[in-house]
Every structure is written in C-alpha cells, then in structure tokens.
Amino acid sequence: MSEQRKHLKSQSAVAFDHSATNVAASHMRNALNRLADSVEDTEERKKFANEMDTFFALFRRYLTDKAKGSTIDWERINPPNPKQVVSYKDIQGNEQKTDNLSKLAVLKLNGGLGTSMGCVGPKSVIEVRDGKSFLDLSVRQIEHLNRQHNTDVPFILMNSFNTDEDTQTIIKKYQGHNVNIKTFNQSRFPRVYKDSLLPVPKDFNDSIDSWYPPGHGDLFESIANSGVLDELIEQGKEVLFISNVDNLGAVVDVNILEHMLESNSEYIMELTDKTRADVKGGTIIDYDGSVRLLEIAQVPKEHTEEFKSIKKFKYFNTNNLWINLKAIKRVVENDELAMEIIPNHKSIKVKGNTVEVLQLETAVGAAIRHFHGAHGVNVPRRRFLPVKTCSDLFLVKSDLYHLISGRLEMSSSRYGGAPLVKLGGHYKKVSDFQKRIPYIPYIVELDHLTITGNVTLGKNVTLKGTVIIVCEEGKKIDIPNGSELENVVITGSLSILEH
C-alpha cells in the first residue's frame, strides 16, 4: 500500500467531515456578524467587517484542510535545485549601482512585544547597543543611506494592536531626521475556543486577550487595506525589503536589489547556511518543480530528523525578503494567496477560568510560491543577526562588533564567525542580565561560553577559548574586575575580594 493511501478517508468519513465543516463555518459566520454589529461607528464597522471577512476565509480554509486530512506528501519534497537558490558570491560587484535605491522601500515587522526578554512594550524599543534601540539603529541606517546617496527610501513599520500606540509615541522623536516613516497595523483577529470553534470575543471592545495578530503572513492584506501599498506604487517604488525588526544583520544590500531587478524576480528570500543551532528554522524546498517554504510544523513526525538534516536541507530562511510591490497588489486583488496555515494553541484566562484557544497564523515566507521568478539567495551569515535572547544581546553589545551608521560590523580582529554563547535562566530577563553582567567582557578570542546560576562578571573581564561557569543552587560566583579566563571550567562558588 502506498504511503499516500494511509491518509485517504472513506466516503462516509469525508461526507461527515464536510457536513461538520459547513456547520462550524455557519456558526462562525453568524458569530462574526454579531461581533461586527457591536461596532458603533459606521466607518469603523465597515473596516472591522472587512477584517472579519479575511479572518473567515482563513478559518474556512483551516476547516477544509482539516477535513481533507491532507498532509504534505514527503515523497514529492526535494532540496532546491541550482536555479532555485543563487549564491550571493555570483551577484556581487554592484555596490556602486545605487540609482535603483529610488525604487526601494524598507519595511520592518514590528508586531512583537519584548515579554520573552522580560520587557514591557514593543520589542523594537529594547536598548541593544550604545544606548540605541532596534528602532533607533534601523532609522539611523535609512537616514545614512538617504543622505549618502541623495535618495528617499521610506521606512515602514507594520505594527500590531499590541505595539502600535507605544510605537506612534516613540517615532515622534525621529521627526527631524532625513527619513520618511510610515506605519500601518496588521489585522486583529479573534481567538477561537478550541472545543466549540467559536470566537472568544463577544463584543468589538472585549479585552485584548480575546484577540491576536495573525502572524506576518498577514502583511499582504494589511499593507493593501491600509492604503500604504498604493501610496508606495504611486511614488514610483517597485521593491519592498522586509525583515524582522530584531534582525540587526538585515541592512539594505544593493547587490540583492540589482539582482532582483535584473532577473525580473517578484520575490527573493535570503537564505543562509544551516548550522546545528538552526535546525528548526524553515527551509526552502523544491515541491513538484516549484519553490516553497517548509516549516517544521508541517513536517510529519516520522520525517522530523530528516528535516533537521544539514546534509539534505542546507539552508534556512532568514525572513529577509525582497518583494515586488505591484506583484503584492496583484496577488491580493486576485485573491491568489493561500499560504499554509499554522494553528497555534494557547491557554488564556476567561472569567477566571483557563481555556484552550486556537490562533490561526500564516508566515510571510510561505507566500513564495505565489510569485513569478521567486527564488532564494544564499547570503553570508552576517545578514542574520537576530536578538531573541539575552545570550544574543550579550554578543551584539560586545567588542565583537563595531557600530557604523546604525550597522553592526564584525571586528577585523575576529577570526571566523560569532562564538556560541549560552546564558542560563538567571539571565532570561534584560534587567537580570544587566545586573549580573553590567560590563560586557572582551570576547574577540572567545569560542564558547556557558554561564548558569548566580554568576556576576566584573569590569574589564576577558574571555578566551572555551569558558564554562556553573554556579551551584544557592551559591554565588563573582568574577573579579580585570580577570582573564581562557579555556577554564569554574564550578561551585567563588567570591574573590579585591585588595
């Protein structure tokens, strides 16, 4: 019996699922209509109803996919062919061709909060280097680009309802800068009860916990609905460079811009070589001759290890994307987008009770198959420098990098890539990290650092080779000022007093 056969359902099961799908969709539609009726302002109601129509289409597609029991057919998946991934080395040499910067707009995905690092408000306002936040560095880069090349590259932020208010306040400080900042909000979709498949909110003004921003795949609909897409096209912009706001390596690259325009590609995804640290990242694949993004959530359990293989799938998606603006308009207006749905299960409190809810999300990278001439460019690792944890923050604050016009450049004294840094649970929050490591040590010659437990580093500390510091529960380790640690393991407790 073929592998595919196992996923087929009997006719009676299909009929039952089809009927259940229709009932669930009908109940959801009625509930969404009632939600729309709860909006008092006429204009606001119209906008909200459009948003709920988009959500309903996503929900209906989720039900249909679920009823089909369709999983990705692993036998049809292959690593990308040479035409589907171009080496960055082969497109270099265009650094002086800056005329096409006038056709570029830059967008940062700014929907996330800093809660995973123990911060309040948008993640983009966390201070990462020399008193500057992610947002400060991004604005500085675009401002420098505009001044250096006498151009006008607009800077766009896609906010969520979680980040918009704070972001609007913060960007006022950039008013005197040579950069045109635009913002728009991604959608606000209702969370869905896992059991009843009905929306959690009963009213438009229900608490923030009842809603969610539906992943960055929502960018296409949101930028079109906001009017920003049409504005950019009217201004003669052709290409949108998209990246996560916390990726400090995602700077404008003229080589990629020129390659995109010369190759008439509508969509370019920056990929970088996969290391053992990146095995869960999405990868680019060949699926029946077309290029697609494959995320770990889509992989059947029996093939998870194969997906993580560095030999079979050499690249992973950095989420640095270059997309043609008119092509975005086309796929939205023609309703061509059908990105893979990622069901995200959460627990929330409703009236004091913990309930299981569902969030239906999509990823912007999954849209690659809907664009003409779409392919990947295998870029150097320096273009992927995300700050997701305080271990990442430790690296970008260190002497490993120099800050030049808002860009982080690796020190010329460094041989090879960045060291591997693992800071334990005591450093999860930025405030704890700053308290225990008030001065970032010198790490240009560091290969590997692990710190766990209650460890404090003094001033002017130098770390070289492999350094492992493990403090026992209830104990304390203080590394004194001026220490030089090279290829050492320190355990137990240690407190050295200076004389």
468 and 484 Cβ atoms separated by less than 8 Å? no
Task: Say whether 206 sits in a helix, a strand or coil.
Answer: coil
Enter the tokens of residue 173. Answer: 């400080």
Q: How many C-beta atoms surround the C-beta of residue 455 within 10 A?
A: 23
DSSP 51-65: HHHHHHHHHHHHHHH
Q: Which residues contact 301 (CB under 8 A, 6 or more apart)?
A: none
C-alpha to C-alpha distances, 440 to 383, 460, 461, nearest whole angstrom: 23, 8, 8
C-alpha to C-alpha distances, 252 to 216, 271, 371, nearest whole angstrom: 20, 15, 22
Residue type, 99: D
Kind and range of the H or E run holding 310: none
Catalytic residue flag (residue 388)? yes
Helical H segments across 38-98, by residue range? 42-68
Cα–Cα distance measured from residue 158 to residue 174, given in angstroms and rounded to the nearest whole number: 17
Enter the tokens of residue 74. Answer: 């692993």
Nearest to 275 by CA among 314, 306, 247, 320: 314
Cα–Cα distance measured from residue 222 to residue 225, given in angstroms and rounded to the nearest whole number: 5
Nearest to 63 by CA among 124, 18, 14, 15: 18
Q: Which of 349, 388, 459, 476 is catalytic?
A: 388
Residue type, 400: L
> Is 272 exposed, middle or buried, given 0-12, 13-18 or 19+ CB atoms closer than 10 A?
buried
243 and 83 Cβ atoms separated by less than 8 Å? no
Which residues are identified as catalytic?
A: 388
